[in-house]
Structure 1
């Protein structure tokens, strides 16, 4: 009897909160940016945070071998203060080659992808040839959904080629309301 009424109240509450979030912009600042790449895949990798608010990411990697397949695992965890540990919010595994060559525009994933590759020489199809690949001033603030709450954030990304881990990226940061 009260089930449908409770459902409507929950939907109404969620709608009101989403309207409130839509008026506020989010800031994202990074505390750390760590990258580790296998010696057999690259001569080296440089990952750094820049910008006045520490909101921009830069990467340079000198690939020394071709990558013909890319499997990607992304795990995003959040922590609300005063919690000590992060809790998994989202994780996904996908074919990286398919994503870079067949991106559907207008989705959250495409917005994030476009923010990452906007100022880069990221190849748009596989195989990824031996070369210097760079990403400059990556900012995903504008791609963040408006309903994302203020939180501490941990992003872990693993890249595999033929079942062998070749790149691990780890980011820690904070999302705050403007």
Structure 2
């Protein structure tokens, strides 16, 4: 019985690691220019984004879809998807939730405004790491993350990430 409890404790304490293989960002040319998205860090676990916004964004609708694939499967299967009001999330963030942990990991080293409208100019996110915010129920698998951002029902930014989640 004690061995079972020790095993369960270690399982719940197991950390997840991320390694990104591909990071692609596509932004409408009427919204931005000079956009850079790249993977960094020794383990390829950090994300960096810089974008020069050409226009103010006063409404942000966000769609996030996370899909997983287990080896040797060829197809990704939807694990989770959600649509939310981005302006509400950045201004009314409830601390301690999974979403707030992810959001805080993303904006920790950025100049991301904490309310809308998002003014034109340089927006940057440096060394984003969401490993500590990963939920324990996320399985070790290959991962595909797709995020679409809309302003006034028009897609202005598409972000795609492909990588792998493993146990530490």
Picking from 162, 166, 169, the partner of 2:159 is 169
20, 30, 39: which one pairs with 2:20?
A: 30
Give the Cα separation in 1 of the matches to 2:48 and 2:8: 32
Shift of residue 22, structure 1, vs aligned partner: 1.4
Q: Deviations over 1:61-97 (max 9, x none)?
A: 0000000000000000000111000000010000000
Would the alpha carbon gap of residues 76 and 114 (structure 1) be closer, same or farther in structure 2, given more than 3 Å must change? Answer: same
- In terms of Rg, which structure is larger? 1
Q: Deviation at 1:19?
A: 4.1
1:100 aligns with 2:90: yes
**Structure 1 runs (4+) greater than 6 angstroms displaced:** 15-18
Using the size of structure 1 for normalisation, the TM-score is 0.89
Counterparts in 2 of 1:18 and 1:173: CA distance versus 1, 3 Å: farther
CA RMSD of superposed structures (Å): 1.5
Partner of 2:126: 136
Report how many residues are paired. Answer: 164
- The equivalent of 1:156 in structure 2 is 146
- Where does residue 135 of structure 2 map in the other structure? 145
Name the stretch that deviates more: 86-95 or 146-155: 146-155
Give SS of 1:113's match. helix
User: d(CA) in 2 for partners of 1:76 and 1:16?
Assistant: 31
Alpha-carbon shift at residue 27 of structure 1 (Å): 0.8
**Separation (CA, whole Å) in 2 of partners of 1:25 and 1:82:** 23
**Displacement, 1:23?**
2.6
Q: How far 1:26 moved relative to its partner? A: 1.1
- The answer to whether the 8 A contact 1:21-1:147 is kept is no
Deviation at 1:133, TM superposition (A): 0.1
Q: 1:48 to 1:90 in 2, by over 3 A?
A: same
Mind listing any 5+ residue stretches in structure 2 that lack a counterpart? none
TM-score by length of 2: 0.94
1:61 equivalent in structure 2: 51
